[in-house]
């Protein structure tokens, strides 16, 4: 079975479960597993995951400056 590599860690549905036996999860499909979610989707359905949605990008210009007095007033 050939897998199309999908960057699950960049998907908004991906999450870390902190379960040592199943550390990776997909919030959309509601599962956690030892393998990356796209692999489990492919093994279970026979189709590539089509639900990838990129996480919102972090805007570097919106970094907080905790030396700013407005946070400590």
Burial annotation 30-65 (CB, 10 A radius, 16+ → b, else e): eebbeebbbbbbbeeeeeebeebeeeeeeeeeeeee
Write out the chain's pLDDT in tens, 73 residues. 566 788 999 999 999 999 999 999 999 999 999 999 999 999 999 999 999 999 987 766 677 788 888 888 7
pLDDT at 61: 67
What global pTM score does this model have?
0.69
Can you give the residue ranges of every domain in the chain? Answer: 1-49
Q: Which two tokens stand for residue 22?
A: 């199943």
């Amino acid at each position: 079975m050939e897998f199309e590599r999908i960057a699950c860690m960049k998907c908004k549905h991906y999450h870390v479960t902190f379960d040592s036996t199943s550390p990776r999860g997909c919030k959309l499909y509601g599962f956690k597993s030892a393998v990356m979610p796209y692999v489990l989707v492919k093994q279970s359905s026979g189709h590539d995951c089509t639900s990838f949605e990129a996480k919102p990008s972090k805007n570097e210009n919106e970094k907080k400056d905790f030396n700013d007095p407005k946070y400590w007033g």
